[in-house]
Structure 1
Amino acid sequence: MDSPLVKEYDSVKVTRMGKEPAKDPVIVETTIDLLVNGTRLSSIVTTPEMHKELVMGYLVTEGAVRSRDDIQGIEQKGNKVDVKIKNFEHFDLWYELRSSGCIGINWEHRDEDLFLPVEQKFNINVILDSLKYLYSEVHDRTRGAHMACLVDASGRAGHIALDVGRHNAIDKVVGAATLAGDDITKMFMLSSGRQPAGMVMKAARARIPLVVSKAAPISSGIDGARRANLTLCCFADKDKLKAFSCPERIIV
């Protein structure tokens, strides 16, 4: 499969019996610069696609903007994405090179007032059946990708994204949904990655009520989910999941 996301590299396979030449597909990463109102805010290490969606989602999940109404324009030139935002002068601008982990704009903000009411509920069969959306041929080949997906209550996958970073994958699907004008509060999010507070609070700031991961939770993620009244489910497979907060959103 030819893909701008994968590049083949020569390697040497070493076993107890000796050495032999090999070739391996490797996921490709690139760096983009995020500019806000013409000023560079951050550099983001990501895959070579969905850059506008990534930037839009990053600003939403870090609490810089609430909706596309806060955005006056977004333009990409080469590896630079410039976003025009209303009233952004209150943020301290900094330069942070991101990789698979990140520190966000509002990392020290505790989101004490963030509380998601229980409105939309989701059927357990829909949730478990939707895990198929986390399959990626790129990850299957490279073992180097994370996936995220937004799914509506009927089980339809609205937006799917892949990235080298689990945070970036979330930002991409949130950005895609925001740019499309979708109501994220009626969707749940699938993630392939572990769920510390940094991941969980991205979803909470975007008003996503339910997060489902195949991987493990981290204590800070559970604590953050419980404070925000977000439903956090981990260890999900085709038969079961474990809800660590607000299980009443799940209908059996």
Structure 2
Amino acid sequence: MPLDWHVERKIGQNNFWRDEGRDVSAPYLPYRCVELTEDGNNEIDVDVIVEKEFHLSLNDVPLASFFATPREFKELAVGFLLCEGFIDHAIDVISVEVEDDKLICHADICPDRIKKTRRDIDPDSRFDFCSCAIGSRPCRKKIGSEPELEFDRKVFFKAIEHLKSDAKTWRRTGGTHSVIVCDSEGDILAFCEDVSRASAVDKAVGKAALAGVDLSNCAIVATGRLSVTMVSKAINAGVSVLASKAGPINEGIDLARAVGLTLVGFVRPPHMYVYNGIERII
């Protein structure tokens, strides 16, 4: 096996940001930089993605601080609560209010559940909440041992192509992760981009859940690596399959195998690697 087996080679790679039209409503800002080329140096303006630190609370209890792209706030909040196991359904959420850097959520759940699910968060931390987790993350659900769904592998190849074609902010800035929620027929039910791969999952899951999608019949397809954080979020969201064009991390594989989640990495047509749950892939 060649040492670079996992590398996706591209010949004549395009400068996507030069070709992608600028969206004045998108969360990026122009910055001046110096472009170094074989023909010399040029000062140019390029668009840079914006991130902002948010502090999320549930029923007046502080839960987490994390960085995210400042848009799709309700989707982010609802998706976070689902993917971290604080709620089971989007309808559990009564309200989401945005006050500057605060996401203030109220939900119809038992107070004891917040205490049981909550993790100790350093309020002064300036790191992504999800990426700071150490060791196995708690999951409230276990995927059934007998697969109820089967996904044609072409569904994942199609989803990866959608990630490329729909990721306009990434093409303009090169600074985002993208996530799709799709069903076993290959229909794209939600798409989101964010500076954080974890927040991109939260937003896509939140968008699908708010639209009334039954996530148990869906897969999550992402661009980011398959860490224990990503696997935990997929399990708590209730999907049976998590796939990515990137590779996995050992704890992500171990958690997927422990709960029965189908885990697929390096989805790059015509190949993919299935680390668990091959019975769901046809």
TM-score when normalising by structure 1: 0.89
Instruction: Please state whether the residue corresponding to 1:83 is helix, strand or coil.
Output: strand
Match for residue 2 of structure 1 among 19, 23, 29? 23
Return closer, same or farther for 1:232/1:88 CA change in 2, 3 Å cut-off. Answer: same
> Structure 1 counterpart of 2:161, which letter?
K
> Structure 2 counterpart of 1:213, which letter?
S
Cα distance in 1 between the residues matched to 2:135 and 2:58: 18
Note the C-alpha offset of 1:112. 8.5
> Structure 1 counterpart of 2:131, which letter?
C
Match for residue 43 of structure 1 among 36, 49, 65? 65
Note the C-alpha offset of 1:87. 1.9
Match for residue 30 of structure 1 among 52, 65, 75? 52
1:205 aligns to what? Answer: 236
Cα distance in 1 between the residues matched to 2:119 and 2:274: 37
Whether contact under 8 Å (1:13, 1:19) holds in the other structure is yes
- 1:45-194 equivalences in 2 (<5 Å): 45-85=67-107, 86-89=109-112, 90=115, 91=118, 94=121, 95=123, 96-99=125-128, 102-103=131-132, 109-111=137-139, 114-117=142-145, 118-135=147-164, 136-194=167-225
2:33 aligns to what? Answer: 11
Whether contact under 8 Å (2:170, 2:177) holds in the other structure is yes
> Structure 2 counterpart of 1:222, which letter?
I
Whether contact under 8 Å (2:138, 2:232) holds in the other structure is no
Instruction: Name stretches of at least 5 consecutive residues in structure 1 with no aligned partner.
Output: none
Cα distance in 1 between the residues matched to 2:35 and 2:78: 41
> Structure 1 counterpart of 2:228, which letter?
A
> Structure 1 counterpart of 2:62, which letter?
R
Return closer, same or farther for 1:142/1:100 CA change in 2, 3 Å cut-off. Answer: farther
1:222 aligns to what? Answer: 253
1:21 aligns to what? Answer: 43
Instruction: Please state whether the residue corresponding to 1:235 is helix, strand or coil.
Output: strand
Identity of matched residues, %: 29
Return closer, same or farther for 1:116/1:71 CA change in 2, 3 Å cut-off. Answer: same
Cα distance in 2 between the residues matched to 1:45 and 1:217: 22
Return closer, same or farther for 1:245/1:192 CA change in 2, 3 Å cut-off. Answer: same
Return closer, same or farther for 1:239/1:101 CA change in 2, 3 Å cut-off. Answer: same
Return closer, same or farther for 1:108/1:50 CA change in 2, 3 Å cut-off. Answer: same
> Structure 1 counterpart of 2:92, which letter?
D
Whether contact under 8 Å (2:141, 2:238) holds in the other structure is no
Between the two proteins, the alignment pairs up a number of residues equal to 250
Return closer, same or farther for 1:197/1:108 CA change in 2, 3 Å cut-off. Answer: closer
Instruction: Please state whether the residue corresponding to 1:116 is helix, strand or coil.
Output: coil
Instruction: Name stretches of at least 5 consecutive residues in structure 2 with no aligned partner.
Output: 1-21
The alignment's C-alpha RMSD in Å is: 2.4
Whether contact under 8 Å (2:57, 2:104) holds in the other structure is yes
